[in-house]
Amino acid sequence: MGLIKNLIKPEKQTITALDGVTFTVRKGEFVAYAGPNGAGKSTTMKLLAGMLLPNSGDISVLSLSPQKQRILLMQRLGILFGNRTELWWDHPVIQSFEWKKVVWGISDEMYKKNLATVVELLDIGNLLKTFARELSLGQRMRADLAMMLLHSPEIILLDEPTLGLDVVAKRQMIDFLKRINRENGVTIMVTSHDMDDLEEMAQRILMISAGKIAFDGNFHDLRSLTGNLTRVAVTMEKGFIPEIENGNLLSSDNGIYEYDVDLAQMPVRGLLSQLSAVKGVRDVEIKKAPIEQVIAGLYRDWDSGKNESTYGSRL
Amino acid sequence: MVVKLTFKCKRLISLFAISAKMDLVWLLRDTKFAFTAILADTISNLSVVSSVYLIALRFGGIGGMSVDEVLFMMAYSTVTTGIFILFGSGNNIHISRIIGRGQLEHLFVQPLSLKTQLITSGFSPFTGSGNFIIGCILLVIAILPACVCADDSARGKLYFQERTELLCQKRLQQICALRISPLMYAMLRRPSRNGSTTIPAWGL
């Protein structure tokens, strides 16, 4: 019965992917775009690149409308999805590059110059003659990134470019992106689930939750949003247990006690004087809470829906 | 206006050219592969056309169509399939699948209109022209003798039949020779961008 019903009257569900999202990115900015799964990150990227049409609202990229002037825009914009490749599967990498040269109408001069640059910076010289299907994930991402840069895009949109990359490949990619942002003034917008990567790359972070912009600012502000959490690790001599007021004990292992301390509630001075009073302290380490943890806290809050409006008004 | 049109034509030609180049490179990447593709296509084409043709020969036509007419119909069908494969291989043949998977939007990444992409991206003169070329040759073979025979018809039906049978035998030999020629590799498993392969769409 279900099958027939589906045929006659398919069940359709309308989902509001983005709702009242407004933001401006200046030229040369490096913006991180983060949010939980299904929040609308990729949808935003696709809208900016003219791949989807919005039901309502205006989008302007490089003073062009992605929906009406897509062809012009695509000459100046580069977009890369980490989960798919634009390389020709059954051809060597260099063949895909040459295809791109023709399709994008890149001049010989620009092509040569850009090819030399990406080959050097991304270290793909020995991959050029390899078939795309034979590349490892990290190599493929580098080749994809190189291909995207061949037409000297002024804006780069990256959707999860570090997906599945190992530490070295990730490092390479982050350094490269920072470099082209700094030296060539390329505007970059990048989404990722790895907050540490984002913090290292971007100056500004836009956070989206359930189709709405939930945070827009720098990483420092993002931290203070959740109450400036600080991680304190105290190494004790045997037989001593530290006691810290307002501290939230996270773990104790082999004499090392880790606490979460909210510096908004207790200033550093207070914390230090407390620690100096404790007996048997061998070592103290104070560091910022990992951004991952901050984000996880935010996501949980958003999920339960209690703070959505509060954060908005605090900005 | 003229400048714009010239520019557009140049662009189209360069797009066709890059598709053709990639097609050639793809075929020539491996001797063994190219040979297998040609052989497989030869066998398949041979069996399709010759089986129908032999039946027509044995019974002097099929369903009221003479042997020449049967040959003509087969040639016609091969040409139309050939045109489709020549221009529509690669991503085009899968367009419904691409749409179904919600991946059509990824074609929008290219600074080309969708129409231009569809016209140019599937152009495969090297791996996809087999059907087209063979179709054309078969058409000529089917039409030419018919024209000659029409002139001779005044000289009697018997002569016509004898002559046709002779021609038919000759033609069969010609077809066999043609099908084994290197141009017969036609599309076998042409790759699309996402790595899947094309299911051969044989004529008839």
Q: What is the mean pLDDT of residues B15-40?
A: 83
Q: CA-CA distances (angstroms) from residue A180 to A62, A103, A183, B60? A: 18, 24, 5, 74
Q: Which residue has the higher pLDDT, B126 or B168?
A: B126
Residue B181: what pLDDT? 41
Q: Which positions in chain B touch A72 (Cβ < 8 Å)?
A: 111
* Of A73-82, A120-129, A269-278, minimum mean pLDDT range: A269-278
Residue A94: what pLDDT? 94
Helix-helix angle B130-152:B157-180, to 10 degrees: 160
**Mind listing the pLDDT tens digit for each residue in A138-166?**
889 889 999 999 999 999 999 988 887 88
B111 closest CB neighbour out of A71, A86, A98: A71
Top-confidence range, A236-245, A280-289, B10-19, B104-113 = B10-19
Q: Which helix (H) or strand (E) holds B149?
A: helix B130-152
A95 closest CB neighbour out of B25, B112, B195: B25
Residue B170: what pLDDT? 61
Residue B198: what pLDDT? 44
Q: What is the mean pLDDT of residues A1-30?
A: 86
In A144-298, which ranges are E strands?
155-159, 187-191, 204-209, 212-217, 229-236, 247-253, 256-262, 281-288
Average pLDDT, chain A: 84
List the single residue in B with minimal CA-CA distance to A84: B194
B22 closest CB neighbour out of A70, A99, A133: A99
CATH architecture for the domain at A227-293: 2-Layer Sandwich (3.30)
Q: Which positions in chain A touch B113 (Cβ < 8 Å)?
A: 71
Task: Indicate whether A276 pLDDT > 90.
Answer: no
Name the burial class of residue B107, with classes exposed (0-12), middle (13-18) and buried (19+) by CB atoms within 10 angstroms of its CB: middle
Residues 6+ apart with CB under 8 A from B72: B139, B142, B143, B146
List the single residue in B with minimal CA-CA distance to A75: B111
What is A27-217's CATH number?
A: 3.40.50.300
Say if the Cβ atoms of B108 and A70 lie within 8 Å.
yes
CA distance B202 to B137: 17
Residue B3: what pLDDT? 80
Residue B176: what pLDDT? 53
Q: What is the mean pLDDT of residues A108-113?
A: 94
Q: Which positions in chain A touch B25 (Cβ < 8 Å)?
A: 91, 95
List the single residue in A with minimal CA-CA distance to B26: A91
Tell me if B137 sits within 8 A of B178, measured CB to CB. Answer: yes
* Domain range annotation of chain A: 27-217, 227-293
Number of Cβ atoms within 10 Å of the Cβ of B63: 8
pTM for the model: 0.73
Residues in chain A: 315
**Mind listing the pLDDT tens digit for each residue in A16-42?**
888 888 999 999 999 999 888 888 888
Q: Which positions in chain B touch A70 (Cβ < 8 Å)?
A: 108, 111
Phi-psi region of A27 (alpha: psi -120 to 50; beta: other; left: phi over 0): beta
Residue A144: what pLDDT? 92
* Of A302-306, B48-52, B79-83, minimum mean pLDDT range: A302-306
Residues of A with CB under 8 A from a CB of B: 46, 49-52, 70-75, 79, 81, 84, 86, 88-91, 95, 98-99, 102-105, 133
Residue with tokens 């040569």: A112
List the single residue in B with minimal CA-CA distance to A91: B26
Tell me if A190 sits within 8 A of A161, measured CB to CB. Answer: yes
A86 min Cα distance to partner chain B (Å): 8
Q: Which positions in chain B touch A74 (Cβ < 8 Å)?
A: 108-111
Q: Which positions in chain B touch A88 (Cβ < 8 Å)?
A: 22, 193
Tell me if A77 sits within 8 A of A49, measured CB to CB. Answer: yes
CA distance A27 to A217: 16
Say if the Cβ atoms of B191 and A103 lie within 8 Å.
no
Nearest alpha-carbon partner for B71 in B61, B82, B63:
B61
Q: In what order do the strands lie in the sheet with A229-236?
A: A247-253, A256-262, A229-236, A281-288
Q: How many Cα atoms occupy the beta-carbon half-sphere of A273 within 13 Å?
A: 4
Residue with tokens 């990483």: A219
Tell me if A32 sits within 8 A of A192, measured CB to CB. Answer: yes
Residue A31: what pLDDT? 93
Tell me if A180 sits within 8 A of A172, measured CB to CB. Answer: no
CA distance A75 to A73: 5
Mutate which: A90, A98, A134, vs B, most B CBs within 10 A: A90
Number of Cβ atoms within 10 Å of the Cβ of A273: 10
**Mind listing the pLDDT tens digit for each residue in B46-64?**
677 778 888 888 888 788 8
Residue type, A56: S
CA distance A21 to A312: 12
Query: Any chain A CB within 8 A of the CB of B112?
Result: yes
B22 closest CB neighbour out of A71, A91, A133: A91
**Mind listing the pLDDT tens digit for each residue in A199-257?**
888 889 998 887 888 888 888 887 777 666 778 888 888 777 777 777 778 778 878 88
Q: Which positions in chain B touch A90 (Cβ < 8 Å)?
A: 26, 191, 195
Top-confidence range, A186-195, B37-46, B90-99 = A186-195
Residue A312: what pLDDT? 40
> Between chain A and chain B, how many beta carbons pairs sit less than 8 Å apart?
58
Q: What is the mean pLDDT of residues B102-123?
A: 86
Say if the Cβ atoms of B112 and A99 lie within 8 Å.
no
Task: Indicate whether B182 pLDDT > 80.
Answer: no
Enter the tokens of residue A270. 């207070």
A91 min Cα distance to partner chain B (Å): 7
Enter the tokens of residue B41. 């296509």
Task: Indicate whether A187 pLDDT > 90.
Answer: yes
Residue B167: what pLDDT? 62
Helix-helix angle A93-104:B2-27, to 10 degrees: 170
A95 closest CB neighbour out of B22, B106, B195: B22
Enter the tokens of residue A156. 């780069």
Task: Indicate whether A100 pLDDT > 90.
Answer: yes
Tell me if A41 sits within 8 A of A47, measured CB to CB. Answer: no
At A142 the three-state DSSP class reads helix
Top-confidence range, A291-295, B108-112, B164-168 = B108-112
**Pairs from A116-120 (Cβ < 8 Å, separation ≥ 24):** A117/A149, A118/A145, A118/A146, A118/A149, A118/A150, A119/A146
Q: What is the mean pLDDT of residues A8-22?
A: 86
Query: Any chain A CB within 8 A of the CB of B114?
Result: no
Residue B164: what pLDDT? 60
